[in-house]
Structure formats: C-alpha cells, structure tokens
Amino acid sequence: MRKLFLVLGLLAAAGGGYYGVERYRYRFVHSDEDLLRFLPQTDASTFYVNVAALRRAGYLNVLDGAKATQATEYLQFVRETGFDYSRDIDAMAGAAAGQQIWFVLRGRFDWGKLREYVKRHGGQCGDGNCGIATSTAGRRASFRSVQPDVMALGISSDSDAAAAMQQSAAEAMPSTAPVWMKPSHALLTNPTQLPLALRIFAISLESSDSLLVSLRQSEQKEDAFSIEVDSVFGNQPTAETARKQLEIDTGLVKQELAREHKPADPADLTGLLTSGVFQVEQRHMIGTWRVRRELLQALR
C-alpha cells in the first residue's frame, strides 16, 4: 500500500506539473512587453507603468493624499469588489486617443466580485465581456479577462471596446524605465490639450519624428527621479535647433521668475521647468528635468 500511495503521489505530482506548464505555455501574456500587444494599433498616445516597482520604491505613497478626495463612486467600487489599483495592479500598459482610453492590466483580480459589481449596478456580462456605464454621459467601461492575472479594459462610447482588444504583432518595449509615455502624432503636432507651461516646451518638439518621455532614477540624492525626453528628428541640425529653442524657453522662465523676484521653487512646477538640461546625440535631442523630493511631498 505504501508503494501504491507513493506511485499515485508521484503520478499526481507529475500530472500537476504538466498541467501547470501547459497552462503557462498557452497564456497570452508572459512578460510586460506582451501587454503592449493588446493595445489598439491607432495613432494613440501609449504609456506603460511598472506599478510594482513604484510601490517597492515608495512612490505610490504620493497617491495616499488623494484617497480622501477620491470619487465616492470609486470608493464604493473598492468596498464592494475588494480591488484597489494601488495595491492589486503590478503593471499596466495603455493607449489614449480623443475620448477613448484602453488599458491592459496585470495583477490580482477577483473576477467573480467584479462581475457581481457590474450586474448590481446596471451593467451586463456576457461572452466573457462585461460593460457598465460611467459617470460621464455617453461613455462606458468594459472589461474582459485575457488570462487570470491580466485584464483588458476599455473606456469609450463603444460598449464592446474591451472585446475589440485582441493580440497584434509583437512590439518591442521602447524603454527600460519603470514609467514611459509616447505621445501620438496628433498630440505632437497640436499640443493644445497640454497645460500651458508644458505646451510652450512641446511646441519646440512638434517637428520631431517621434518622442519618448521616461521617468528614471536620478543620480542626485535630493531628487526623487528625473524626467527624460528623447526626441528623434530627421537630421542632426534640426535636433540642434530644437535644443537651442528649449534652452531659450528655459531661460525665459528663469527671467520671468527673476523679474517677479521669485526664486524657482523645488516644490512646484517652476523648480521642475527651470532644471532642464539639453544635449544632442546624432538625430536625438535629449532633455532631462529633475523632479525634487519636495515636489512629491507637495503633491501628497
């Protein structure tokens, strides 16, 4: 009997191991790079956030100050589903175009509670896709399970936005930074949706072929991190022109502060904008801005 139980135990272990391997093999998402494959192939601004890395570094604490003012709708959602993005999401990739936004989220989801929440609040679930109206008129949130730890989420006037998020050709991760964003061509050429202070700087880069914004660890101890902009132009002289214009823009901000007898404050946007340093490497214009710890403290 002991030998029989031993054989049965070995068979069960082998079968469980085989099932686990096969289940992993046939998952769609094996790395964060795979998250990008589910984003719509349109002229949209794309972004990626390694939420787990930010949580380990303590940067998600910046969001704690906003929790008291979060919408009642979201707080009710957390209570009923037990899901909190700051705790349960490990990584996200997203795309935004106009009034539409798509997310691919990797983390921990209680799918049963999420579906019950949708049904309880007037939404519907069917064919693996759930949809519910948002607080904004004409916009609906829809989601589906890509695999147990990955969700496709769409917020759009289209109630089937999440269902339309299917795998496409693999796209290489453009940056190793924990947070990055690639503006769409439409936003680059018409940056009117940006705040005025950022719009002034964006105009200097609107002729670039592509632009990548990354958050990176800073070498300065007093900095929380740095913002790096890598803008690619058609040739080096054009990149040099953009660098000179950004240096002029930065100088104008400093002159205006001096005229008003106000030093740049590391705890607000003036400290950030005046910290810009710019260089050209072949066709790349690279700008770096310092994000001081005081600024993060002020955001709490």
Residue-wise pLDDT tens digits, 170-186: 678 889 999 999 988 88
DSSP 273: H
Q: Which residues of the chain have pLDDT under 50?
A: 3-26, 66, 68-69
CA distance 46 to 96: 7
> Do residues 186 and 43 touch, judged by C-beta distance below 8 A?
yes
pLDDT of residue 71: 58
Q: Which of 201, 165, 206 is nearest to 183 (CA)?
A: 206
Query: In this structure, what are the phi and psi dihedrals at residue 176, rounded to the nearest 5 degrees?
Result: -90, 0
137 CB contacts (<8 Å, ≥6 apart)? none
pTM score, whole prediction: 0.83
What is the pLDDT at residue 169? Answer: 73
Q: What is the CA radius of gyration of the chain?
A: 23
Instruction: Check residue 154 and give its pLDDT.
Output: 93
